[in-house]
Amino acid sequence: MNQAATAVSTFREIHGREPAGVWAAPGRVNLIGEHTDYNDGFVLPFALPHRIAAAAAPRDDGKLTVATLGSDDRLQRTQPLAVRDLSPGSVPGWGAYPAGVAWALREQGVDRGADLVLAGNVPTGAGLSSSAALECAVALALLGLAGRAEPGPEERVRIARLAQRAENEFVGAPTGVLDQTASMCCVEGHVLFLDVRSGESEQVPFDTAKEDLRILVIDTRAKHSHSESGYGERRRGTEKAADLLGVKSLRDVEPDTMPAALDRLPGELRPLVRHVVSENQRVLDVVELLRAGRVADIGPALDESHASLRDDYRVSALELDLAVEAAREAGALGARMTGGGFGGSAIALIRSGDRAAVEAAVTKRYERERLPSPRFFVAVPAAGAGRV
């Protein structure tokens, strides 16, 4: 049973009626461009086939109820929440994510109550943006119940910003807008080249199969959490560096001016700046290669990105480093951690015929270190969020 059908059948069981509609949003893989979004930089994500579906129906009492069916088939439910009383910090745990979306939409005049039932297969804690998928599915559901039409490109960007605000201000996780924008705006068969500062974007064709290549996702099963990790510390560090340099953001530091800029900063901030500036350039380099159809040639940029995230930004983890090293040794053309770090997933660009060898090598390395077995899947660029 697919996720939408599961959400509908669970909705019937809980509420004894049919939902008014079902909306779904995907998780994402970020091909390259990590920790650049909150520095007004460049990112290059694509949406996954893995989705969270929201079956929804309106309520007339101004209250929001949310139930979610986990991958273990365990049902979790929130207490009914009065939409008019929602405020940051008022809802604990996972319920803060859908409640935060309702709070953000309330200020846009969308304040009707609703029953929501969520079901999905985006791995949680794997750095694949399950929280953004949830936020975007809930946002589309609440907007749909309010009679809003299927959003166009500009409206999708606005919804992504609202979902980001919910995560930043209501949940308290200081993330950038990459995840929500990927979930809302990606299209099948492409990576989304996004200039966060200007909002300009380009759908760049990304057909790995044409060159007999694959993007292998390695879920390390080392859970991560933006709100409980050093993510906020890194963000504050980059903001402090920009302030000391007298620029709006680190986007304004170019590779050729970076050495002089680093000389003006305290030692602890220099690695953060070095990563952001070099990572922005790597995104631009990868986009040029993809435009030219040279998918196989992006491997070195993936390797350099991981080294920068590990050594300069210091957001990697043992499980990520082992996965990347083992994948490369088994023939991967390039590999890197993806997502915010401190756990989660890595990706490897591989030849299709090397998949079994790469998976075996990573699994063997984990066994040697007595770590839980990793999980693998091939990532294919999928469509963004919408009504089912």
Average per-residue pLDDT in the chain? 95
Residue given tokens 């939408």 in the structure block: 4
Query: Which amino acid does the sequence have at 51?
Result: R
CA–CA gap between residue 305 and residue 341 (Å, rounded): 12
pLDDT tens per residue, the chain (388 residues)? 589 999 999 999 999 999 999 999 999 999 999 999 999 999 999 999 999 999 999 999 999 999 998 767 789 999 999 999 999 999 999 999 999 999 999 989 999 999 999 999 988 877 888 999 999 999 999 999 999 988 999 999 999 999 999 999 999 988 889 999 999 999 999 999 999 999 999 999 999 999 999 999 999 998 765 545 688 899 999 999 999 999 999 999 999 999 999 999 999 999 999 999 999 999 999 999 999 999 999 999 999 999 999 999 999 999 999 999 999 999 999 999 999 888 899 999 999 999 999 999 999 999 999 999 999 999 999 999 999 9
Provide the β-strand partners of residue 204.
191
Three-state DSSP state, 294: coil
Q: Which domains does the chain have, with CATH numbers?
A: 3-203 (3.30.230.10), 207-379 (3.30.70.890)
Residue given tokens 């040029």 in the structure block: 288
Cβ 226 vs Cβ 175: under 8 Å: yes
Cβ 73 vs Cβ 210: under 8 Å: no
Q: How many CA atoms lie within 13 A of 234 on its CB side?
A: 32
CA–CA gap between residue 160 and residue 320 (Å, rounded): 28
Q: Closest Cα partner for 231 from 280, 274, 174?
A: 174
CA–CA gap between residue 338 and residue 345 (Å, rounded): 6
User: Who's near 344: CB < 8 A, 6+ residues apart?
Assistant: 125, 126, 127, 128, 219, 220, 222, 223, 224, 320, 337, 338
User: Who's near 356: CB < 8 A, 6+ residues apart?
Assistant: none
Q: What pLDDT score was predicted for residue 227?
A: 44
What positions carry a catalytic annotation?
A: 179
Host H or E run for residue 238: helix 231-245
Taking only the tens place, the pLDDT of each residue in 333-364 is: 999 999 988 889 999 999 999 999 999 999 99
Host H or E run for residue 47: strand 42-59
User: Who's near 380: CB < 8 A, 6+ residues apart?
Assistant: 49, 215
CA–CA gap between residue 333 and residue 234 (Å, rounded): 29
* CB-CB neighbours of 87 under 10 Å: 10
The end-to-end CA distance of the chain, in Å, is 14
Residue given tokens 């756990």 in the structure block: 343
Tokens of 150: 């299927």
Tokens of 188: 């099948």
Q: What pLDDT score was predicted for residue 158?
A: 96
Instruction: Tell me what percent of the chain is helix, strand and coil, each rounded to the nearest 5.
Output: 45, 25, 30
Taking only the tens place, the pLDDT of each residue in 234-272 is: 999 999 999 999 999 999 999 999 999 999 999 999 999
pTM metric for this prediction: 0.93
CA–CA gap between residue 116 and residue 386 (Å, rounded): 16
Host H or E run for residue 329: helix 318-329
CA distances from 327 to 300, 356, 357, 364 (A): 14, 11, 9, 11
